[in-house]
Amino acid sequence: MSVLLGALLWGAVAGSAAAASPALKAIWGPATHNGVSQFPIYRQLGDRIYEDVLRWNLIARKRPRHPRNPNDPAYAWPAEVDSSVPEAGHYGMRVALEIIGSPRWANGGKTPRWAPHRARDFADFAVAAAKRYRSVHMWMIWGEPSRSHNFRPLTPARPYVPLAGNQLIAPHLYSRMLDAAYGALKGVSSSNLVIGGMTDAAASISTPQWIENMRLPNGRPPRLDMYGHNPFSIRAPNLANPPSPAQQIDFSDLGRLTELVNRNLGRPQNPRPKLFLSEWTIPTGVDNEFNFHVDLGIQARWIKDALSIAARTPSIYALGWIHLYDEPPVSAGGLIAANGVKKPGFFAWQSG
């Protein structure tokens, strides 16, 4: 989520799609709150991308006979996404959908966090989703797969140490899924932008380790248009800060992340993939998601600093905020308190 001062230029490759545009502000739902649409608030905040999720395991509980056909009877598409996608368009927002969670029939009867046995099954679902939501042209491939809670099989690794043995399985499996989804989504529309990586600041395999080992069986990196990352931070955003400890790659490390992505994932047709910062938030109270919080004024100041960085950093395509409302005890990182009062951070995000 960042400053928008002009229209987004669309193309097949993110590097050319946004070359002349400052970074966009994005936001994760909800589409409604207490039965009321939140899109007027998103317009007030200046958000230009609406983020939502498609859970493959819930949409395709049974194996479809025609997996690339969104009308196959096995598919049960979420009503919330069906309604929020056109409403986002009505309010001038583009939509980015994250595909996550494999059904039992695809992963050998395991929980949704397990990778499917065949990358093609994941790609087939991506095709059905792209046909179902023709107006959507941004696709995030899984969410935080470098975290063992979200993606299996994954063998954790100590930071700074080269991956070996079973530690290589997760980034290699993910790379095959990403590359298969890329080809499938581009086959539906060349305008589709595929966002891969989808790491976060603190995970079971560090972001540098993940990126350096995103490789296909032929040794090449998987295809992607943008690199997705959630740069959660416990310090004020400042690109002059030293590297974060334990290879966490927080907001202050985004310059270093850009170099890492370009060096490892750049391809001749897209040598400098943009950064899609899908999730960022700053809690202002104790919650169940983070082990730190700041006061209201510091939240607003950090938001202002982050938006300023995003506005002047060409490699950042979008900065996304997660949690519009506080939801105690789960989250205290909203822009609006649980009682409906707008925090100073709300106005900092709005003015950025």
pLDDT of 305-316, one tens digit each? 999 999 999 999
Residue 5 lies in a domain: no
User: What is the arithmetic mean of pLDDT over 92-98?
Assistant: 98
The predicted model scores a pTM of 0.93
User: What is the arithmetic mean of pLDDT over 107-124?
Assistant: 98
195 neighbors 276 (Cβ within 8 angstroms): yes
Residue 182 lies in a domain: yes
Residue 246 lies in a domain: yes
% of the chain residues with pLDDT over 70: 94
What's the pLDDT at 22?
A: 80
% of the chain residues with pLDDT over 90: 93
State the sign of the Cα–Cα–Cα–Cα dihedral 243, 247, 250, 251: positive
Pick from 342, 265, 268, 351: nearest CA to 303: 351
State the sign of the Cα–Cα–Cα–Cα dihedral 1, 148, 177, 133: negative
- Reading the block at residue 289, the tokens are 């998601």
User: What is the arithmetic mean of pLDDT over 339-344?
Assistant: 98
What's the pLDDT at 18?
A: 39
**CATH number reported for the structural domain that contains residue 43 in this entry:** 3.20.20.80
What's the pLDDT at 295?
A: 98
Query: Is the pLDDT score of 16 beyond 60?
Result: no
Which domain range does residue 317 map to?
Answer: 14-351
CA terminus-to-terminus distance, the chain: 9
Query: Is the pLDDT score of 192 beyond 60?
Result: yes
Position with higher pLDDT, 210 vs 19 = 210
Query: Is the pLDDT score of 19 beyond 90?
Result: no
What's the pLDDT at 2?
A: 34
Query: Is the pLDDT score of 263 beyond 90?
Result: yes
Query: Is the pLDDT score of 320 beyond 80?
Result: yes
* Residue 343 identity: K
Query: Is the pLDDT score of 13 beyond 80?
Result: no
Residue 317 lies in a domain: yes
**Residue 141 dihedral angles phi and psi, to the nearest 5°:** -100, 105
Residue 301 lies in a domain: yes
Q: How many domains does the chain have?
A: 1
Residue where the block lists tokens 């899109």: 39
The SS3 of residue 165 is helix
What is the helix (H) or strand (E) element at residue 263, kind and residue range? helix 254-265
Confidence of residue 24 (pLDDT cuts 50, 70, 90): very high
Residue 38 lies in a domain: yes
Q: What is the pLDDT of residues 210-239, one digit of tens each?
A: 999 999 999 999 999 999 999 999 999 999
Q: What is the pLDDT of residues 252-261, one digit of tens each?
A: 999 999 999 9
- Which segment of 12-21, 36-45, 102-111 scores lowest on mean pLDDT? 12-21
Confidence of residue 327 (pLDDT cuts 50, 70, 90): very high
Query: Is the pLDDT score of 14 beyond 70?
Result: no
Instruction: Tell me the average pLDDT of the chain.
Output: 94
Confidence of residue 83 (pLDDT cuts 50, 70, 90): very high
* Residue 320 identity: G
Residue 160 lies in a domain: yes
145 neighbors 198 (Cβ within 8 angstroms): yes
Measured CA to CA in angstroms, residue 218 lies from 64, 175, 214, 221 at distances of 31, 11, 11, 9
Residue 272 lies in a domain: yes
